[in-house]
Structures are given as structure tokens and as C-alpha cells.
């Protein structure tokens, strides 16, 4: 028998401290972007991609690109046999990528 309470059971997820920090930081970033959108409205701008983007669009592009950077970092480190390498390099590349997206896109 199906219970509605079982639909909200999230015990299957690996809720560790890094996962909580990750989702918490995205939530805080969305709150900051919401505040900025209300306090300082902006008109879309055109960057090097030649599409009109807002802060939210650039944030989404940054999150998407950072996910791919991390996936490629993991894939190449495993393919090259560096299984003990951390994700600090990917974090640094993602930060540089994010700054570039918000500056030029």
C-alpha cells in the first residue's frame, strides 16, 4: 500500500556535510540574486555569446559549466590513474570560469 509519507522519505540520499554545504550555498546564492533583482533591477545585456542574459542566466550558465568542469576533472584524474587527487583544482577552475561568465557573458 502506498503512503504519502513514504513519498517524502529522503533517507536514500547521501546527506553528508559537503552535500549540505553545496546545496546550502546554492540556496544562499539564489537568495542573494533575488535580493539584487529586487533592490537593483537590471536590463539584460549582450556579451560574447551574443544572447541577452541577466544575473540569473549567468548564474545558471556558471552552475552548468562548473558541473561539467568537475565531471571532466574526475574523469581525467581516474583515466590517468590519479584516484587520490582532490577536487580543489576543479574548484579553482570553476571559480575562474564563474568570474569569466559574470564578466564577459
Mind listing the pLDDT tens digit for each residue in 7-43?
566 666 777 787 888 889 999 999 999 999 999 998 9
At residue 1, the pLDDT reads 53
Sign of CA dihedral 70, 72, 73, 79: positive
* Domain locations in the chain as residue ranges: 4-104
Q: What is the β-pairing status of strands 52-53 and 45-46?
A: antiparallel
- Residue pair 90/70 in contact (Cβ under 8 Å)? The answer is yes
- Residue pair 73/93 in contact (Cβ under 8 Å)? The answer is yes
User: Any alpha helices (H) in the chain, and if so which ranges?
Assistant: 4-7, 17-39, 55-79, 88-104
Mind listing the pLDDT tens digit for each residue in 42-94?
899 999 989 999 999 999 999 999 999 999 999 998 888 887 778 889 999 99
Q: How confident is the model at residue 3 (pLDDT cuts 50, 70, 90)?
A: low
At residue 57, the pLDDT reads 93
In 3-state terms, what secondary structure has residue 45? Answer: strand
Q: How confident is the model at residue 5 (pLDDT cuts 50, 70, 90)?
A: low
Amino acid at each position: 500500500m502506498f503512503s504519502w509519507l513514504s513519498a517524502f522519505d529522503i533517507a536514500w540520499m547521501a546527506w553528508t556535510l559537503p552535500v549540505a554545504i553545496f546545496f546550502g550555498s546554492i540556496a544562499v546564492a539564489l537568495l542573494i540574486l533575488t535580493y539584487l533583482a529586487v533592490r537593483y533591477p537590471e536590463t539584460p545585456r549582450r556579451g560574447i555569446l551574443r544572447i541577452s542574459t541577466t544575473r540569473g542566466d549567468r548564474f545558471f550558465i556558471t552552475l552548468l559549466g562548473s558541473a561539467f568542469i568537475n565531471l571532466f576533472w574526475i574523469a581525467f584524474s581516474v583515466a590517468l590513474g590519479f584516484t587520490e587527487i582532490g577536487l580543489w583544482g576543479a574548484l579553482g577552475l570553476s571559480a575562474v570560469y564563474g568570474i569569466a561568465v559574470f564578466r564577459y557573458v
